[in-house]
Chains A and B, each alone.
Chain A
Amino acid sequence: MAKNLTPKTTILDAKQMARIIRRMAGEIVERNRDLPHLLLAGIRTRGVPLAEAIAAEIERMEGQKIPVGVLDITLYRDDLSTVGPQPLVKGTRLPRSIDDCVVVLCDDVLYTGRTVRAALDELVDFGRPKAVQLAVLIDRGHRELPIQADFVGKKVPTAQSEIIEVSFQSTDGAEQVRILERGASG
């Protein structure tokens, strides 16, 4: 963990996370009747385990395997010249053509909306999807662009000084969501 970040609260534990993801999967199925033309695209890094978890739930519910893609939006970021040395690019992998598909973008936290904007730009370079929907585990507010999620796990109002930390088993060894505070502990 980075310095100067102190845990404040645990918003979701593993059980609560699993329940929410199950609910989101249900909502996605409800809205998208045409499952064979559905694609989940996880935005690196933690949008990926979210997309995989949702796909697993859909398979459990409907017996249908939904393809999961990985989007690395680094090359589409709008802040590259200011962050410092170029960030590491880990690569994009889409398992099938997205033309005429419904693509559900998955990300762990929706905040300013810039990541999603970059992901939309990247998707458009791959083809012409029938529709793009957005599924996020946590919506923490503070939007800087006109972007809204179609499927939200939990809305959590936050202060700018706070950080939402989402952990998945595959990436972090635990399943939970916590709020962390910037600044030294007492």
Chain B
Amino acid sequence: MSDQILKPEELAPAAELARKTLEQLDRILLGRKELHRLVLIGILSRGHVLLEGLPGLGKTALVKTIGQILKLDFKRVQFTPDLMPGDVLGSHILQETSSGKRELVFQPGPVFTNILLADEINRASPKTQSAMLETMQENSVTLLGTTRPLPQPFFVLASQNPIELEGTYPLPEAQLDRFLFRLLFEQVDAEVLDQIISERRRGELPAPTWQMEPAQLQSLFAIIGKIYLPRPVSRYIARLVSATHPGGAEATGPVNQYVSYGASPRAAIAIAEAARAHAFLAGRPSVGFEDVKAVTPPVLNHRLILNYQARFDRMTPSKLIGELLGQLDETGLNLPKDVAAAV
């Protein structure tokens, strides 16, 4: 087991690559350091990210910049109600060969890329949205009985805005569950806006001064795979996800009151993987409780299905998760209620 724990000299170069990536992101896109960190964690965890925010906040710019920094193939699909699955996945077209025969030739769709920006994904019909399910979970496309693997790595960075909901099709729970994170784009403050206006003519982004090679990205994936997840932490993740289910042994009062369905086992896996990436970015070889706490809100906030009473009481998943993280004892010491430990 000891050879599986990363040594400092193994981890340091990889952490330096991640630090440079973040530095580039923060330099190009101003004012969203924490968001950039979470997006990078999503990518390093090999997960898909759902970006949610009002128009003009820089969702598309963020995805493009990541593609540039990571030197990955990037394609964008603007989802509309009349978009068909074939427009995303690709389709077979009839072509005449040099010998004069005609045959069906597969023409790959935009999904055959490394980073797919599914812009305004909730505007496509459920049929087209469902076409993304296999690509996101299996990293492959099956058409006419033939399964074709997607280029690796493959990420879907989807965006949707919380307004103009007429004519949209809310993502089904099955597809929401396939997104590692759902990240909310908040408005930037006036100081950042001033900096954008003064330094970015017409909003044009500066080119990255450093780019990561594909081989380096693969090495990062390998390093993250070696980040150690201690049993107490994995037990905490399991208890945390279990506590999101109403009626569970450690479910809190608000969970019992407001949650219809809790998070799936896929959520527990997502928390573990994201926590590994978070620990890696912090330069540590093992996952701590603080890593879990940092990644839990974006992992769970789209996986809790609340009931109508939560709507009436204006209870949100974020509030519930914050309350849950505050109440659940991380280590399961089960100390008496009148005893607490602190440094």
- Do A and B pair up? The answer is no
- Using a CB–CB cutoff of 8 Å, the interface residues on chain A facing chain B are none
